[in-house]
Amino acid sequence: MARKNIAAGNWKMNKAYQEGLDLATAVVDGTETTDTIVIMSTPFIHLQSVVEIAKSKDNVKVAAQNCHQAQSGAYTGEISVGMLNSIGVDCVVLGHSERREYFNENNTLLAEKVKTVLGAGMQPIFCCGEALPTREAGEQVEYVSNQIKESLFDLSAEDFSKIVIAYEPIWAIGTGVTASPQQAQDMHAAIRNLISDKYGSEVANNTSILYGGSVKPANAKEIFSQKDVDGGLVGGASLKADDFLAIVHSF
Ligand code: PGA
């Protein structure tokens, strides 16, 4: 898949049903049909309706925020890729730091989930990122590289090419502290080099790498203008249509 500019909104556990539909409708109405891909990653209850709302614009896609690694079975409370696929969901966010921290998701489990999502013909948006102590120790590149190697480097080049990566430093998520454009660029370049070493420069150059962590209308343009930053995964600012649309128009 060719490298794209992507603005992805991650609603997390926010919005009652109708609130979510209103937000999705405003986002779709305010999005022009351009080469920029707009993704809404919604709670499960909104997915089916948001898929319908998004149908009017080819460049608007819908993502789940998680799925189970198994195809089906006795996993009370979980959602399978087959279920997501059957309602037309395009992508699944995997390995968000909140899933890693509060739900014990580790690199090995995420490797399984990535394969399950790819097997269902959907696109994984794979999140990685270091906590503050790791950055303070200057070990962020090694840490993030390890997350990517352990969860993704078993894949064939063909499968790897279908993945979107989201670099989200944990110290910048929901804190109002954004990584500087240079910090984002440095990590994104390191990730692209890592991919190039493993899969070659063509695959690396075609991989979309998003930045996440306190992306706002006021800082999106500068971050997105970095050479190796292909867009953003946006939490808080994706909950207001105007803010999210301003970010969508920041490329
Ligand atoms: P934030 O969240 O934009 O609210 O910092 C980003 C994310 O967790 O994806």
DSSP assignments along the chain, one per residue:
-----EEEEE--S---HHHHHHHHHHHHHH--SSSSEEEEE--HHHHHHHHHHHTT-TTEEEEES---SSSSSS-TT---HHHHHHTT--EEEE--HHHHHHS---HHHHHHHHHHHHHTT-EEEEEE---HHHHHTT-HHHHHHHHHHHHHTTS-HHHHTT-EEEE--GGGTTSSPPPPHHHHHHHHHHHHHHHHHHH-HHHHHT--EEEESS--HHHHHHHHTSTT--EEEESGGGSSHHHHHHHHT--
- Is residue 237 situated within a structural domain? yes
Distance CA 117, CA 76 (A): 19
Is the distance from the beta carbon of residue 169 to the nearest atom of ligand 1 less than 6 Å? no
Ligand 1 binding pocket mutation candidate from 215, 243, 250 (most atoms within 8 A of CB):
215
Q: What pLDDT band is residue 67 in, cutting at 50, 70 and 90?
A: very high
Is residue 173 lining ligand 1, measured as CB closer than 6 Å? yes
Interval 31-53: pLDDT, tens: 998 899 999 999 999 999 999 99
Q: Of all atoms in ligand 1, which is nearest to the CA of residue 236?
A: 4
Share of the chain above pLDDT 90, in %: 95
Residues with active-site annotation? 96, 168
* pLDDT tens, position by position, 180-209: 999 999 999 999 999 999 999 999 999 999
With 80 as the cut, is the pLDDT of residue 13 above it? Answer: yes
CATH number (domain holding residue 33): 3.20.20.70
Whether the Cβ atoms of residue 136 and residue 107 lie closer than 8 Å to each other? no
State in Å: Cα 191 to ligand 1 middle.
20
CB distance 235 to ligand 1 below 6 Å: yes
Ligand 1 center to 30 CA (angstroms): 21
- Looking at the whole model, is its pTM more than 0.75? yes
pLDDT greater than 70 at residue 225: yes
Q: What is the pLDDT of residue 192?
A: 98
> 125 φ, ψ to 5°?
-105, 100
Is residue 65 domain-resident?
A: yes
pLDDT in tens, 136-149: 999 999 999 999 99
Residue 136: what pLDDT?
93
Residue nearest to atom 1 of ligand 1 (CA): 235
Q: Is residue 1 situated within a structural domain?
A: no
Domain count, the chain: 1
Q: Which of 10, 93, 178, 238 to mutate to test the pocket of ligand 1 (most atoms within 8 A of CB)?
A: 10
The pLDDT score that the predictor gives to residue 1 is 65
Hey, what are 163's tokens?
């993945």
Structural domain that includes position 63: 6-248
Query: Does 174 score more than 90 pLDDT?
Result: no
pLDDT at 2: 78
Q: What is the pLDDT of residue 23?
A: 98
Ligand 1 centroid–CA 174 distance in Å is 5
